[in-house]
Structure 1
């Protein structure tokens, strides 16, 4: 990516952060009145990019050098080259990326949710634009942007993957209000999250096992 392109993408993403910074609070308050998280609400979570106090930059890499991104061999998919590249670039384990894609879209690059989330990692239009995606149905663009966003959520919750996944599904504000700081604490209070979120974490765990050799 050229310096000019990178700067333009960063500016666009910064603008998106300013526009949706209040959604963590506002949308979480709306969800408090719901006993479940619908697919539409899950789609809205892609807009919840406003960083919490002390959070790292959305472009920060989790967890560290690319050599730490692998959690062992994984079963092959049609998008391994793109997934491996994004894993190395953003430091997210390959098996986790595959698990998220499997759960979100069943590896269908053309799928659109009822909320308008698109492609393999189910990007909303505003988020896709903010991340520099011109075609959310393009696997290369979708995977790169989706993994970058996932990396940000994991970084936001200090490497606690289940907390990041819960935030991805139910909203960061809802997870933060639990007052937990580790995955173990989260799992002990999982019944306080929407049923859909409880199922989502389990689905990701099962899918991850499926792709880990």
Structure 2
């Protein structure tokens, strides 16, 4: 679905007043789902939770935490502390990584969509690139157990390299270790800057609600 700019602006004015709702133009085919519906007041509304007892349309959007134009309310968007919990806790213990950080990365990367595939080829819950997956010994990136094991192993490596600095870990996860080295910190890429900020918010929220 494509939406013109004037319509987006009109929706934005009302959508921002509704807690936990979001407004993002559709752009990617294999992405988390967003549902568009009308509230009881007839206001166009958006949610990442399937609306009940109301007609809605499915809108597909890009990476939750990578879209510079995302209007998700990151302080109120629903968390997911249930999906893949056993795998997350198992790998958190195995690699000594905070499970809240694992959930934050999965939420940011794929919104817990196991078969997510980005336009550049990243796959699965933690959006592993083929070369990275191979290096980590991941057999099938679209299989939750394999993907989480590889993704957490990668996070553990980054946490050790950056001495627990979550901002640098998130930046390297998004833009690559080379970019972090080149700029001596978080790269000045729009996507990476918003990604780092949103992972920080999600990490904090998952720690409080884990």
Is TM more than 0.5 here?
A: yes
Q: Secondary structure at the match of 2:86?
A: helix
Cα distance in 2, alignment partners of residues 118 and 200 from structure 1: 18
CA contact (8 A) 2:167 2:200 kept: no
The partner residue of 2:151 within 146, 170, 191 is 146
Structure 2 spans left out of the alignment, 5+ residues? 1-61, 67-78
The partner residue of 1:195 within 185, 190, 196 is 190
Larger relative contact order, structure 1 or 2 (CA cutoff 8 Å, min sep 6): 1
CA contact (8 A) 2:166 2:200 kept: no
For residues 66-105 of structure 1, the aligned pairs below 5 Å read 76-105=81-110
The partner residue of 1:204 within 190, 196, 199 is 199
Offset, 1:103: 0.3
The number of residue pairs the alignment matches comes to 133
| Coordinate RMSD, CA, aligned | 2.3
Cα distance in 2, alignment partners of residues 122 and 169 from structure 1: 10
Structure 1 spans left out of the alignment, 5+ residues? 1-37, 43-73, 180-185
Output the TM-score relative to the length of structure 2.
0.57
Larger Rg: 2
For residues 152-163 of structure 1, the aligned pairs below 5 Å read 152-163=157-168
**Residues 92 and 195 of structure 1: CA distance in aligned 2, closer, same or farther (over 3 Å):** same
